[in-house]
Amino acid sequence: MAAELDLERALVIGVASSALFDLRESDAVFREQGEEKYREYQREHLDDVLAPGVAFPFIRRLLGLNDLSEEQRLVEVVILSRNDPETGMRVMRSVERHGLDITRAIFMQGRAPYRFMGPLCMSLFLSANEADVREAIDMGFAAGHVVGHAAEDDRGADLRIAFDFDGVLADDSAERVFQNRGLDKYQENESALADVPLDRGPMADFLEKINRIQRIEDSKSAGDPQGYRRRVHVAVVTARSAPAHERAINSIRQWGLRVNDAFFLGGLPKGPILEVLEPHIFFDDQRRHVEGASRSTPSVHIPFGEINRE
């Protein structure tokens, strides 16, 4: 009997085919030769399996967490695509050939499918199309632009996720103080407000759903403390340092959320830390951090807040 899907309780992710697969070749056909040649190309390559993209290992491992519960489906991934249904067939065949447990998709020819994030209770939309991501953010949805190239996937079952804090898990109000008034005023502000939680940011709902899965792992670990190996691990990697670290820790706690590890780097480069930590995905709101991290780590730019306004 299939596990029941409750959209409000499950972690629901929307992923564009451009984030899940490497579409550089077919996209080049579309840009250089037009839509009709693109259609012809996709028909001719219908059974050619698309190679994994930046988000592939993350999505595969996320879907694998469904085996933690027989009663309810914990994770649901939906393809959100600007392809029409015909050209989208190659995407769905590649999904099947890769063994990904994805059965739902929305194909809207040339139009934005992320408008349906609300009805589907999605916590995140991932795409390699930056314009689509920015539009989704402007509509109030959590969305991220995948950056870099696909990482090697060792086919393991564990899942390591890393988040920046300000503008990602939290809103960007503290970041605005730093940008507008400088480091000294920022540290003074954060010390004075150490016990006052920041408002939740775009990725807090996603973390909340991840924490729900981690609580299932808590129960399994309690029942088998010696034998159960936890699969989900969450870290914060932030430019904050003491004394501003206290407000970050207190905010996460007062939101009712949790992380396993925190790295307060005080402006040091994040890339070398992430190389050792080896998350399967890293979320940050600052493009320079994402570009540095993406050399070794599948990375996602969250274009949220004042710092990302153009």
Q: Please, which residues have CB within 8 angstroms of residue 5's CB and are 6 or more apart in sequence?
A: 72, 73, 76
SS in 3 state form for 223-258?
HCCCCCCCCEEEEEEECCCCCCHHHHHHHHHHCCCC
Tokens linked to 287: 């493009």
The H-assigned helical ranges of the chain are 17-20, 24-33, 35-44, 56-64, 89-97, 130-138, 173-181, 183-192, 204-223, 245-254, 271-277, 287-293
| Rounded Cα gap, residues 106 and 73, in angstroms | 20
Number of CB atoms found within 10 A of residue 310's CB:
4
- Which residues does the annotation mark as catalytic? 164
Strand pairing category for 143-147 and 299-301: antiparallel
- What residues does 146 pair with on adjacent strands? 300
Give the strands of the sheet with 232-238, arranged side by side. Answer: 104-107, 75-81, 11-15, 124-127, 143-147, 299-301, 281-284, 159-163, 232-238, 261-264
| Rounded Cα gap, residues 306 and 172, in angstroms | 7
